[in-house]
Amino acid sequence: MDDKEENFFQPEHLTAQIAWTSSGYLEYTFPNRLLSLPFKCRPKQVMVSMEICSETAGYKEDWKSDLTLFLNGRDCGTYRSMGDYGARRGKNNPISWVSGRTQYGKLAIFEVNERGSFVGGVRVGDTTIEELHLMDSHRILLRIGNKPDAKYVGGLNLFGRQFGDYSQDIIMNLVYEETMHRS
C-alpha cells in the first residue's frame, strides 16, 4: 500500500511490516496493563525500541531526519536518522521487496524515567515518567515522526519484524514498583 492517507484506514494496516511517510508522523495505541495489576504500582521507567530510518524517493544513504517520539502527547526525545538506507538488502526483507528502495533502518532506543528522557542512553530532555500520566488511562499513545519545525524533516520508515535488520516490532517495556496491594 502506498503512503496515501486512506490506506492507513484499511484493515490490512494492522498487519503492515513496513510503513513510511515523507513527513508527519505515525501513531499507535498500546495497552496500559499497569492498571490491571493485582496491586497498586508506581511507574519507574518506560523504554521503547524500534527500527527506523529517514524516507525519500528510492533511498539516499545521507538523507537526515529528526524523528521525535511522543508518549501520551509528551515529547520524549528526538533521534536523528542519518539516512534512508538502501545500498544493501535488509536481513529480514521478503523476496518480493525489490532493490532500489529503502531496505533497513537503525535500532532507536528511547527511555523515560524519573531523571528525564534519553535516546540511545544519552539524556536529551527533561520529560519525566510522572509527566506521562501513565496511571490515568488504560492506553498509552505513541507517536513517532517529524515535528513541523525540525531541523531535518526527512520523513520516516518504520520496520516490523519481517522487514529490515532487526526481528522485532515496536517494543514498549514498562518498569514499575509495587506500592501496596489493592483491596
Q: Where are the domains of the chain?
A: 22-181
Read off the C-alpha cell for 139. Answer: 492506553
Phi-psi category of residue 87: left, alpha or beta, with phi > 0 → left and psi -120 to 50 → alpha: alpha
Beta strands across the sheet bearing 74-81: 25-31, 139-145, 65-71, 74-81
pLDDT of res. 9: 75
Taking the C-alpha atoms of residue 161 and residue 169, their distance in angstroms, rounded to an integer, is 5
Dihedral, CA of residue 157, residue 162, residue 165 and residue 167, to nearest 10: 120
- Residue environment code for 127-150, b if the CB has 16+ CB neighbours within 10 A, otherwise e: bebebbebeeeeebbbbbbbeeeb
Q: Is 10's pLDDT higher than 90? A: no
Taking the C-alpha atoms of residue 2 and residue 20, their distance in angstroms, rounded to an integer, is 9
pLDDT of res. 6: 79
**Mean pLDDT taken over the chain:** 95
pLDDT of res. 143: 99
Instruction: Give the tens place of pLDDT for each residue, 37-81.
Output: 999 999 999 999 999 999 999 999 999 999 999 999 999 999 999
The mean pLDDT value for 24-43 works out to: 95
Q: Is 1's pLDDT higher than 60? A: no
Q: How confident is the model at residue 180 (pLDDT cuts 50, 70, 90)?
A: confident
Instruction: For cell 514498583, name the residue.
Output: 177
DSSP character string of 21-63: ESSSEEEEEEE-GGGGSSEEEEEEEEEEEEEEE---SS-BTT-
| Domain 22-181 belongs in CATH node 1.10.1740 | no
Q: How confident is the model at residue 5 (pLDDT cuts 50, 70, 90)?
A: confident
Instruction: Give the tens place of pLDDT for each residue, 162-178.
Output: 999 999 999 999 999 99
- The residues that bridge with 117 in the sheet, in sequence order, are 112, 125
pLDDT of res. 183: 60
Instruction: Give the tens place of pLDDT for each residue, 117-145.
Output: 999 999 999 999 999 999 999 999 999 99
Taking the C-alpha atoms of residue 125 and residue 92, their distance in angstroms, rounded to an integer, is 33
Which residue in 44, 65, 50, 53 sits closest to 20, CA to CA?
Answer: 53
Q: Range with the lowest mean pLDDT among 1-5, 40-44, 88-92, 162-166?
A: 1-5
Q: Is 14's pLDDT higher than 80? A: no
The pTM (predicted TM-score) of the whole model is 0.92
